[in-house]
Amino acid sequence: MSLLLEGKRAFISGGTRGLGAAMCEVFAREGADVAFSYQSRDDLAEEVAGKVRAHQRRAHPFKVSVTDRVGMKKLTRQLVEEWGGVDVLVNNAAINRGDNFATTTDRSWDEVIETNVGSLFAVTKPIYRQMIRQRKGSILNITSVGAIRALPTSVHYATSKAAMIGFTKCLSREAANFGISVNAIAAGIFDTDLAHTLPERLLQMHEFWVSKGRMGRPEELAEYAAFMVSDRNSFMNGEVVIIDGGAVT
């Protein structure tokens, strides 16, 4: 049986940590060349690139903000010139802040919304336009169960992740005309740096309300993500799949 992503060219935003790093490695293992963005840690970028290359696949780290519209256009042009295009896009980069809504500052609100929502436009549009030209592609957005359920997470974070669900569903109808699928994963709490910004009381409660009794491992989400963006998942579009360890609703 062939690899899930044999010959695919993928771009993953926020690829040096947590879910993003896990997807970079799993996608490479499944046959994809992997480009990814990162914000600051050159050492982590080289580590992830090394894991991709260990699977005999091409790696291309880009040190660029996901809110940099000009930078993302340049990145896309470079990947088209060097790799011929992008087949898979994963919008993964996100930030959170442990704020109560009543004390949320203007700066904190703007930072979370701009990073988590503004990046959807900056990252997706140039890559989507070249997917239209090649008449194929798969876009996967990593949202959160906090966008769906009344969990004790930050309001600005939940708002940004709910926007991602609307983005997924609406774009999926337009994109289908060009052979492009758009889906999302609503992630529960995984063992990542982002999860550890959550209040300690929430992490303690988590093991009681999740039937698996633990946080998810990043590679567990990455394995399913690889299937979702593969050609074997050919009839799913505009869907939001929950992966949260069986949380009580």
Q: How far is CA 219 from CA 79, 123, 223, 225, in A?
A: 26, 23, 6, 10
Confidence of residue 205 (pLDDT cuts 50, 70, 90): confident
Confidence of residue 146 (pLDDT cuts 50, 70, 90): confident
Enzyme catalytic residues: 157
Q: Which of 17, 16, 12, 15 is closest to 195 using CA atoms? A: 17
Average pLDDT in the chain: 93
Kindly report, residue by residue over 169-188, the tens digit of the pLDDT: 999 999 999 999 999 999 99
The second-level CATH assignment, the architecture, of 9-243 is 3-Layer(aba) Sandwich (3.40)
Please indicate whether residue 153 or residue 106 has the higher confidence score (pLDDT): 106
> Is this model's pTM higher than 0.85 or not?
yes
Q: Give domain limits for the chain.
A: 9-243
For residues 209-228, give the mean pLDDT. 92
CA distance 1 to 66: 36
pLDDT score at 199: 66
Instruction: Give residue 15's Cα distance to chain centre.
Output: 9
